[in-house]
């Protein structure tokens, strides 16, 4: 049977990022034609490291350039859009809210308006949001549900919640674009080169390249989902949206693994699997009584709704995904260190 994605023209904003690069890799394997927007030709990414950049059409430009976006949609005859480009750092949002709002809010409505006015019949538009849009809820109300009111507090969280509402407005009866918003838990895996994230930071430290500096006491509860499972989910949502837009357009979909962990548990798994028990003891000692600023105590969600619509469920446990992730970083950091 012909794969749905074979021959589809797909536009990915943020293609040079962690999730965009992984999705591009999977879609290329399915026979899709990929165009991607990049802000600069940063070669220290999965897209370039694994030679994917030579297999896609890269367009350099700004997400807030509506005319550029419109021309890409029309000239590349785009069938499906995955919107990943964003300023994703909570800390950067606090230090530079203007940049965060410009990229995440203005960037989203520029993209939506470009699609609307391009004249191209785009079949599916999937907007990547975050669990942080929900804001802080008591532990007893976890996991987040799609119908929870949004209560963002920090600039990054607010920017994503605003972008969600903008995206949904374009799926309304006014504009009728085929749009879905996704809110997934923490994503990890090969190609995550933002070392402020706990898993790549922990792996790099456990392998002896750096010293891990805890940002809290490790008690924060999070869910972590492997990036291959995320790519599968994005393709499932995009396929359903493109085939039956009337069924899911305008919907919000959460996804996690249904198995949350504390940050401390994750770090213990990383250091133990790598066999660096000495530094693990040092990290645990440093975490004792350390306060965390700008982080929500507990955030996780289930995949009940998206499973009902698409049948998707994660294929990797945290332990399985972590083993594959550590193996990738061992190779990547060894090569990087030898250059």
Q: What is the CATH number of the domain that holds 61?
A: 3.40.50.720
Distance (Å, whole) CA 110 – CA 85:
12
Domain membership of residue 96 (yes or no) is yes
pLDDT at 87: 87
Range of the domain at 117: 9-188+225-258+298-316
The answer on pLDDT for 336 being more than 90 is: no
Number of domains in the chain: 1
Q: Looking at the domain assignment, is residue 120 inside a domain?
A: yes
Say yes or no to pLDDT of 172 above 80.
yes
Give the lowest-confidence range in 35-44, 162-171, 196-205, 219-228. 35-44
Phi, psi for residue 25 in degrees, rounded to 5: -60, -45
- pLDDT greater than 90 at residue 247: yes
Tell me, yes or no, whether 265 lies in a domain.
no
Residue 101 lies in a domain: yes
In a domain, 328, yes or no: no
Which phi and psi angles does 30 have, rounded to 5°?
A: -90, 0
Q: Please give the positions annotated as active site.
A: 156
pLDDT band of residue 1 (cuts 50, 70, 90) is very low
Over residues 48-75, the pLDDT tens digits come to 999 999 999 999 999 999 999 999 999 9
Rg (CA), the chain: 20
Q: Specify if 128 maps to a domain.
A: yes
**pLDDT confidence bin for 121, thresholds 50/70/90:** very high
The pLDDT of residue 89 = 80
CA 177 vs. chain centroid, Å, equals: 22
Q: Does residue 323 belong to any structural domain of this protein?
A: no
Are the beta carbons of 245 and 239 closer than 8 angstroms? no
> Is the pLDDT reported for residue 213 higher than 60?
yes
Distance between CA atoms of residues 93 and 90, nearest Å? 5
Joined tokens for residue 248: 């899911």
């Amino acid at each position: 049977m012909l794969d749905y994605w074979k021959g589809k023209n797909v536009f990915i904003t943020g293609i040079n990022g962690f999730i965009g690069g992984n999705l591009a890799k999977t879609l290329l394997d399915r026979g899709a034609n990929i165009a991607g927007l990049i802000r600069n030709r940063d070669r220290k990414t999965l897209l370039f490291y694994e030679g994917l950049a030579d297999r896609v059409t890269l367009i350099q430009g700004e997400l807030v350039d509506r005319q550029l976006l419109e021309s890409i949609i029309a000239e590349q005859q785009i069938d499906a859009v995955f919107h990943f480009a964003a300023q994703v750092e909570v800390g950067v949002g606090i230090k530079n809210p203007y940049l965060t709002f410009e990229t995440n809010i203005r960037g989203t409505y520029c993209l939506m308006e470009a699609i609307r006015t391009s004249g191209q019949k785009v079949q599916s538009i999937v907007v990547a949001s975050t669990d942080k849009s929900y804001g802080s809820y008591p532990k007893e109300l976890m996991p987040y549900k799609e119908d929870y009111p949004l209560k963002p507090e920090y600039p990054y969280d607010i920017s994503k919640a605003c972008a969600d509402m903008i995206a949904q407005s374009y799926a309304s009866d006014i504009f009728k674009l085929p749009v879905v918003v996704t809110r997934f838990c923490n994503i990890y895996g090969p190609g995550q080169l933002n070392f402020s994230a706990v898993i790549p930071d922990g792996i790099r430290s456990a392998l002896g390249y750096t010293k891990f500096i805890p940002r809290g006491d490790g008690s924060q509860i999070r869910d972590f989902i492997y990036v291959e499972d995320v790519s599968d989910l994005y393709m499932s949502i995009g396929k359903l949206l493109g085939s039956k837009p009337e069924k899911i357009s305008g919907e919000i979909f959460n996804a996690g693994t249904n198995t949350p962990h504390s940050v401390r548990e994750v770090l213990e798994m990383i250091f133990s699997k790598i066999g660096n028990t000495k530094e693990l003891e040092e990290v645990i000692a440093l975490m004792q009584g350390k306060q965390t600023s700008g982080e929500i105590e507990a955030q996780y969600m289930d995949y009940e709704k998206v499973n009902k619509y698409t049948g998707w469920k994660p294929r990797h446990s945290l332990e399985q995904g972590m083993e594959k992730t550590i193996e990738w970083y061992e190779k990547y950091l060894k090569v990087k260190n030898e250059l």
